[in-house]
């Protein structure tokens, strides 16, 4: 077994108790960009060799005592970790404010649902209020970008400095591992098409799927064309990346060396185990206190790996064991997690906000049963198509179904529902203010409220 023990990291305290004769996987220390002179089929990401490693046995030190938390303490730790206790800006928001949000949440989920606004814009609004959306656009494309697209939680914008932590996933994808089953099978059966697609991007990129002569999908996986599937496979493998997006939000693909800064590509590539530990630590920082499932879901890691890496992090005391009253699973507490006591925010949360995207965690923290109804037939929806939880202080007190009506110049509230016991005038007043702030940020002059739900009955009908 091999553990990359960085001298600048708490993991230097890890001890190994493996028997002699284990193997160390020694990988190239840098993410080598493929030689452009090579044929697509010969592009290589990482070379590894096996070296015998003999380790001396040792006595394990006792585990640190478990921290016991109440449900309310856990909820407040989670809110603090997600940035909801940070100072609320009073002036114009700039790149520094966005950087602070990204430092908290670590990544922004991308999604195609547009009932209100593209998903990745909304988490920052919930934390710092009305900011120029062009600021985030500038972070995701162009020469001053500081984010790249990859599979984080789901498809995500991720800070560039974390690129090395995902390279093990790219290498696995090149071997056909860790992929959706249909995409892995496509890669095996259509290897020649995939290689030709990469050659076209090399010669002509950036390119979108619609730039290929075959055009759009014709009933394949997710309705994708063969070229779109090839591009998505290459994207997962790290052999192409997202250069930008068109106004339609269609992704443009190009070679990483033509998109990402050279200093990012030159960063050392950690061993897979070290990268996985660091990803779980990032998740722990973003969540504050969390179960194993919470942590691995945040960074899209399988259960077997996550359990091994979390055990190592506990042994290193990089994470602390915790028990949360009312939780039926053990928890992990980040040692530097904030424990704020006062929350004053009144904000609407995107369905793809990292505070609520893991539905069982949302229910444990807030006693808030939340499900997406995008793909539910309209007649079977309980609340609406696009429903945003309403955070008031440290509680989720209601949910609001919304859509942007740009033609009518208004924010349409198709339903507003309080949690049990929360249909009170003061909550409706806070919600009304939050709705108008959101409408103004979306450049919608008015707010129209349908009489659907107990909170809707307490809101002004049209403003």
Tens of pLDDT, residue by residue over 117-173, are: 999 999 999 999 999 999 999 999 988 899 999 999 999 999 999 999 999 999 999
The pLDDT of residue 54 is 36
Residue range 284-330, pLDDT digits in tens: 999 999 999 999 999 999 999 999 999 999 999 999 999 999 999 99
Distance between alpha carbon 118 and the CA centroid of its chain, in Å?
A: 14
Residue range 69-101, pLDDT digits in tens: 999 999 999 999 999 999 999 999 999 999 999
The mean predicted confidence, pLDDT, of the chain is: 87
Residue 168 CB contacts under 8 Å (≥ 6 apart), including other chains: 271, 272, 275, 276
Q: What is the pTM of this model?
A: 0.85
Residue range 333-389, pLDDT digits in tens: 999 999 999 999 999 999 999 999 999 999 999 999 999 998 899 999 999 999 999
pLDDT at 247 over 50: yes
Structure tokens at 44: 């290589």
Residue 428 CB contacts under 8 Å (≥ 6 apart), including other chains: 455, 458, 459
Which band of pLDDT confidence, cut at 50, 70 and 90, is reported for residue 248?
A: confident
Cα dihedral 393, 399, 401, 406 in deg (nearest 10):
0
DSSP 142: S
Distance between alpha carbon 412 and the CA centroid of its chain, in Å?
A: 28
d(CA 135, CA 123): 14
pLDDT at 3 over 70: no
Percent of the chain at pLDDT > 90 equals 78
Helices 303-315 and 272-287, packing angle to 10 deg: 80
Burial class (CB within 10 angstroms; exposed 0-12, middle 13-18, buried 19+) of 71: middle
Q: Are strands 147-151 and 155-159 parallel, antiparallel or unpaired?
A: antiparallel
Which band of pLDDT confidence, cut at 50, 70 and 90, is reported for residue 4?
A: very low
Closest by Cα among 36, 53, 170, 101 to 355 = 101
């Amino acid at each position: 077994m091999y553990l990359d023990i960085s001298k600048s990291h708490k993991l230097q305290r890890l001890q190994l108790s493996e028997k002699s004769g284990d193997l160390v996987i020694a990988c190239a220390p840098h993410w080598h960009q493929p030689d452009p002179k090579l044929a697509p089929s010969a592009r290589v990401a990482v070379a590894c060799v096996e070296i015998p490693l003999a380790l001396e046995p040792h006595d394990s030190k006792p585990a640190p005592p478990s921290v016991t938390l109440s449900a309310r303490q856990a909820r407040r730790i989670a809110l603090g970790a997600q940035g909801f206790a940070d100072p609320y800006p009073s002036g114009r928001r700039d790149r520094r404010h966005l950087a602070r949000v990204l430092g908290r949440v670590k990544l922004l989920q991308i999604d195609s649902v547009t009932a209100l606004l593209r998903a990745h814009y909304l988490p920052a609004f919930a934390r710092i209020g009305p900011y120029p959306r062009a600021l985030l656009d500038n972070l995701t494309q162009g020469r001053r970008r500081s984010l790249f697209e990859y599979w984080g939680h789901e498809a995500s914008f991720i800070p560039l400095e974390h690129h090395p932590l995902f390279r093990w996933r790219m290498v696995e994808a090149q071997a056909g591992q860790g992929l959706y089953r249909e995409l892995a099978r496509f890669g095996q059966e259509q290897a020649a098409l995939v290689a030709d697609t990469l050659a076209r991007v090399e010669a002509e990129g950036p390119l979108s799927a619609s730039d290929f002569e075959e055009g759009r999908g014709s009933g394949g996986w997710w309705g994708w064309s063969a070229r779109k599937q090839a591009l998505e496979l290459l994207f997962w493998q790290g052999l192409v990346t997202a250069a930008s997006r068109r106004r339609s939000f269609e992704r443009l693909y190009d070679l990483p060396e033509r998109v990402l800064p050279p200093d990012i590509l030159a960063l050392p590539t950690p061993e897979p185990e070290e990268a996985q530990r660091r990803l779980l630590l990032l998740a722990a920082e973003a969540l504050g206190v969390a179960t194993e499932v919470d942590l691995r879901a945040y960074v899209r890691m399988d259960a077997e790996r996550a359990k091994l890496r979390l055990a190592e992090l506990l042994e290193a005391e990089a994470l602390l064991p915790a028990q949360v009253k009312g939780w039926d699973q053990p928890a992990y507490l980040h040692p530097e997690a904030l424990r704020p006591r006062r929350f004053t925010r009144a904000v609407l949360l995107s369905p793809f906000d990292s505070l609520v995207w893991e539905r069982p965690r949302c229910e444990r923290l807030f006693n808030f049963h939340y499900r997406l109804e995008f793909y539910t037939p309209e007649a079977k929806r309980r609340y609406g198509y696009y429903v945003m939880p309403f955070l008031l202080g440290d509680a989720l007190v209601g949910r609001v179904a919304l859509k942007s009506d740009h033609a009518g110049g208004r924010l349409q509230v198709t339903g507003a529902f309080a949690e049990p016991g929360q249909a009170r005038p003061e909550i409706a007043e806070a919600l009304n203010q939050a709705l108008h702030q959101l409408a103004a940020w979306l450049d919608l002059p008015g707010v129209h409220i349908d009489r659907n739900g107990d909170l809707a009955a307490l809101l002004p009908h049209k403003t």
